[in-house]
């Protein structure tokens, strides 16, 4: 699994220049009009859910990537610390956040936060590191701290990969090179039940068109 996680890290470093194209559905990620409308509606729903959650105070964003959500967080919070393993993705992120290059699987926060946020990351956490990851989340939270996450839902078919076996999936970058990654899509109740024994109660829903899993701690 360590080899797969290393490959996953390289994949997102190589994909950094095209990641935003995926999110905004440009170029090779372009969708037909009806599919694009559904995608954009789900994006708007996820954005509204984050606004409603009101992540104020000090926010920690894990696996921040190119900053699509970091830019929203800095507008809503007093301060944002954005952690990502790759210099390539952080170079595209916003300087309005404090940017930290570190592997989430081995990094430990030096302070505590009011909110821990992560988007499209939990599905890349393998089962064998799931509990440890949520231990990191808990250690980063202040006593009344909260969690908010956005991820691919179990109903999302936008990325089925070229090969799927268990929790592993094969992805390609624009030049055709292939990388193995971890990809586990959760049902809302399934994930809530899995996290509850680890000390966090999360309320999760799927967006109307099934693209995303969205929600936060109660």
pLDDT for position 156 = 64
Q: What is the dihedral of CA 44, 49, 55, 60, to 10 degrees?
A: -70
* Rounded CA separation 111/97 (Å): 16
Pick out the chain residues at pLDDT < 70.
156-165
* Rounded CA separation 66/122 (Å): 17
Q: Which domains does the chain have, with CATH numbers?
A: 2-217 (3.40.50.150)
Q: How many other β-carbons are positioned within 10 Å of the β-carbon of residue 151?
A: 23
Give every CB contact of residue 120 below 8 A, 6+ residues apart in sequence. Answer: 63, 65, 150, 151, 152
Reported residue count of the chain is 218
Q: How many other β-carbons are positioned within 10 Å of the β-carbon of residue 127?
A: 12
pLDDT for position 157 = 52
> Residue 57, Cα to own-chain centre: how many angstroms?
20
Give every CB contact of residue 12 below 8 A, 6+ residues apart in sequence. Answer: 19, 65, 85, 86, 88, 89
pLDDT for position 218 = 74
Q: Which two tokens stand for residue 34?
A: 């009806």
pLDDT for position 159 = 47
Predicted model pTM: 0.94
Do 74 and 57 form a contact (C-beta atoms < 8 A)? no
**Mind listing the pLDDT tens digit for each residue in 62-101?**
999 999 999 999 999 999 999 999 999 999 999 999 999 9
Phi, psi angles (nearest 5°) of residue 206: -95, 145
């Amino acid at each position: 699994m360590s080899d797969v996680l290393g490959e996953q890290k390289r994949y997102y470093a190589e994909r950094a220049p095209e990641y935003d194209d995926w999110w905004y559905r440009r170029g090779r990620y372009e969708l037909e009009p009806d599919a694009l409308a559904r995608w954009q509606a789900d994006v708007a729903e996820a954005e509204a859910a984050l606004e409603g959650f009101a992540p104020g105070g000090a926010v920690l964003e894990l696996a921040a990537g190119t900053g699509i959500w970091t830019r929203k967080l800095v507008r809503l919070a007093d301060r944002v610390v954005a952690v990502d393993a790759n210099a390539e993705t952080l170079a595209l992120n916003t300087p309005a956040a404090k940017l930290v290059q570190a592997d989430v699987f081995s990094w430990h926060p030096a302070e505590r936060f009011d909110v821990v946020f992560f988007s499209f990351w939990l599905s890349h956490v393998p089962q064998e590191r799931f509990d440890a990851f949520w231990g990191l989340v808990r250690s980063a939270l202040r006593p009344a701290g909260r969690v908010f996450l956005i991820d691919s839902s179990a109903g999302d078919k936008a990325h089925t990969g070229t090969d799927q076996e268990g929790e592993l999936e094969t992805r390609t970058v624009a030049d055709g090179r292939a990388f193995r990654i971890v990809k586990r899509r959760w049902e809302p109740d399934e994930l809530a039940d899995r996290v509850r024994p680890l000390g966090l109660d999360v309320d999760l829903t799927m967006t109307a068109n099934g693209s995303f899993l969205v929600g936060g701690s109660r």
